[in-house]
Amino acid sequence: MSHTEAAPGSSLSAHRRRRELTEAADGRTVDVLVVGLGATGAGATLDAAARGLDVVAVDAHDLAFGTSRWSSKLIHGGLRYLASAQFDVAHESAVERGVLMTRTAPHLVAAQPFMLPLTPLVSRGQASLAWAGLRAGDMLRLAARTPRPVLPAPRRLSATEARHLAPAVRAAGLRGGLLSWDGKVTDDAALVTALARTAAAHGARVLTRVRALELTGTGARVRDELTGEEGEIRARAVINATGVWAGTLADGIRIRPSRGTHLVLRSQQLGALPAGLHIPVPGETNRFVLVLPQGDGRVYVGLTDEPVEGAIPDVPEVPETDIGFLLDVLGSALDVPVGRDEVVGAFAGLRPLLDTSTGGSPDHTSDISRRHAVLTSPDGVTIVVGGKLTTYRRMAQDAVDTAVAARGLRATPSPTATLPMTGAASPERLRALPVPRRLVRRYGTEAVAVHALATHDPTLAEPVLPGHPVTRAELLWAVRHEGALDESDLLDRRTRIGVVPEDRAQALPVAREILGKAAAVHP
């Protein structure tokens, strides 16, 4: 493979989509049809393809269009589930975190330090409880066999050390801090893209902008959202992985969506942040607001856990009540509170929580288990619901296991716990790549090819907009190899530019220029 090529067979493009959509609807029967290309659906597509099955996957929109692009970008080790005695969920989370960090995606998932500042609002009893929780979380790491060099041990910090990690935290009354580590994904949408491209490299047909109008146990009636043409995809097994929208294609599924909101701030507003922050929510013992530096000139502050009633929108809106709540909690720990006018963006995702309560619904969505479930509809569709980003791989494996058994398909056991994604390599090899570290954290071994695009066209080395690190080369790579079809794909999912509306508007002409450049080469 040359420095300007993608991994063999992994490139997604408009040309490949057109060809494979025609093949998928030609009347033959494939082994597995997956509907939904978020983390779980893309994971199921890879799982089935890696077992040697003939797979087609469709999504009405784009890769990671729904919940999977609105996460906190954290790969949690399961600490919060210990507090509610969900020991199986906690252990599963820690195991899956270790799989991502050490085997399947070490280029995308790395250790993230967090500091809990011990302000006067944190009592000594609360601090002791938090420290015990962090120690328990380290035991989860040990039980999951994640090496200590991958995730360092928690430790106590002096007030001076705490201020060094977070100069914006109020100094008055600060007793110190508690330092801990968890997993963080460079970009949740990039993780989904890597999954989809790895599946494509194993022969899967990954088709965005293809809406499933009707699902049965033997296939789906679909519509090409770009042309309006309708057709049928026949399959021996069908997996509904549409997450919070699962109920729109299946009867009897009770989903209680929970809205998680994040604010977007400019990094200079909080100063240098070598670590993220856990800020306790006043009056609650096991709930925190997270401050998450992104390394691109922005900081995310989140998140809420609010029930959502009524129709489920494609893109959730952020209510002012969520913004006010997050700013209030943030202000409880800072020297200079952040004002509403300093919030440059905000986004919300809907968690697809499965409501299994029998004696009445829980009062809060935070009380609903993050366990996942794999169900089979009366007409034979396999439905995977619940869960969370961290455990997508196990959810996908369980869904494919169920579909294979129910439909009598011949397949090998799942290999995905040890199957590297596109771009993955050992830490030593990644460190040796002669390109900027930011590109390595996003593209892994393919960073060399992305970087090399600018050697043929120096204008591609220019940033998409001033003050943001994404280059024009990355947009071109997204069109040629990551299946981006329009400006929204480029700005809202292949990059994170779009989470700040002002930046999105400024970058839009460049995105259109790159799409035109790519179309001129591959119409």
DSSP readout, 126-139?
Answer: HHHHHHHHHHHHHH
DSSP code for 225: T
pLDDT for position 522: 59
Which residues fall within 8 angstroms of residue 60, CB to CB, at 6 or more apart?
209, 210, 211, 212, 225
What's the residue count for the chain?
A: 523
Residue 396: is it exposed, middle or buried by C-beta count within 10 angstroms (0-12/13-18/19+)?
buried
Question: CA-CA distance, 79 to 245, in Å (whole number)?
Answer: 28
pLDDT tens digits for the chain (523 residues)? 544 578 789 999 999 999 999 999 999 999 999 999 999 999 999 999 999 999 999 999 999 999 999 999 999 987 777 777 788 888 999 999 999 999 999 999 999 999 999 999 999 999 999 999 999 999 999 999 999 999 999 999 999 999 999 999 999 999 999 999 999 999 999 999 999 999 999 999 999 999 999 999 999 999 999 999 999 999 999 999 999 898 777 776 778 888 999 999 999 888 888 999 999 998 887 789 999 999 899 999 998 888 888 888 999 999 999 999 999 999 999 998 899 999 999 999 998 877 655 444 444 444 344 688 899 999 999 999 988 899 999 999 999 999 999 999 999 999 999 999 999 999 999 999 999 999 999 999 999 999 999 998 999 999 999 989 999 999 999 999 999 999 999 999 999 999 999 999 999 999 999 999 888 775 4
- The residue among 350, 419, 370 whose CA lies nearest residue 43 is 419
Q: Is residue 318 within 8 Å of residue 347, measured between CB atoms?
A: yes
DSSP readout, 313-368?
Answer: PSS----HHHHHHHHHHHHTTBSSPPPGGG--EEEEEEEEEE---SSS--SSGGGS
Q: Is residue 129 within 8 Å of residue 293, measured between CB atoms?
A: no
Residue 355: is it exposed, middle or buried by C-beta count within 10 angstroms (0-12/13-18/19+)?
middle
Four-residue CA torsion sign, 486, 490, 493, 499: negative
Task: Using alpha carbons only, give the angle 239, 243, 248 rounded to the nearest 5 degrees.
Answer: 80
Q: Enter the pTM of the model.
A: 0.94
For residue 317, how far is the Cα from the chain centroid? 19
Four-residue CA torsion sign, 101, 106, 107, 113: positive
Helix (H, G, I), strand (E, B) or coil at 394: helix
Tokens for 379, please give them: 């007409």
User: Residue 25 — left, alpha, or beta (φ > 0 → left; ψ -120 to 50 → alpha)?
Assistant: alpha
Distances (CA, A) of 202 to 199, 273, 351: 5, 40, 29
Four-residue CA torsion sign, 251, 256, 258, 259: positive
- The residue among 308, 217, 213 whose CA lies nearest residue 260 is 308
First and final C-alpha spacing in the chain = 24
Query: Between 188-201 and 39-50, two packed helices, what is the crossing angle to 10 degrees?
Result: 20
Four-residue CA torsion sign, 272, 278, 284, 287: positive
pLDDT for position 169: 94
pLDDT for position 4: 52
Question: CA-CA distance, 125 to 280, in Å (whole number)?
Answer: 13
Question: CA-CA distance, 522 to 98, in Å (whole number)?
Answer: 40
pLDDT for position 254: 76
For residue 221, the cross-strand partners are 214, 232
Which residues fall within 8 angstroms of residue 328, CB to CB, at 6 or more apart?
none
Task: Using alpha carbons only, give the angle 121, 127, 133 rounded to the nearest 5 degrees.
Answer: 135
pLDDT for position 283: 81
Question: CA-CA distance, 464 to 474, in Å (whole number)?
Answer: 9
Q: Is residue 244 within 8 Å of residue 233, measured between CB atoms?
A: no
Question: CA-CA distance, 279 to 287, in Å (whole number)?
Answer: 9
Which residues fall within 8 angstroms of residue 224, CB to CB, at 6 or more apart?
21, 209, 210, 230, 231
Beta strands in 331-466 (DSSP E): 345-354, 372-376, 382-386
Tokens for 441, please give them: 């954290």
Tokens for 191, please give them: 């993780």
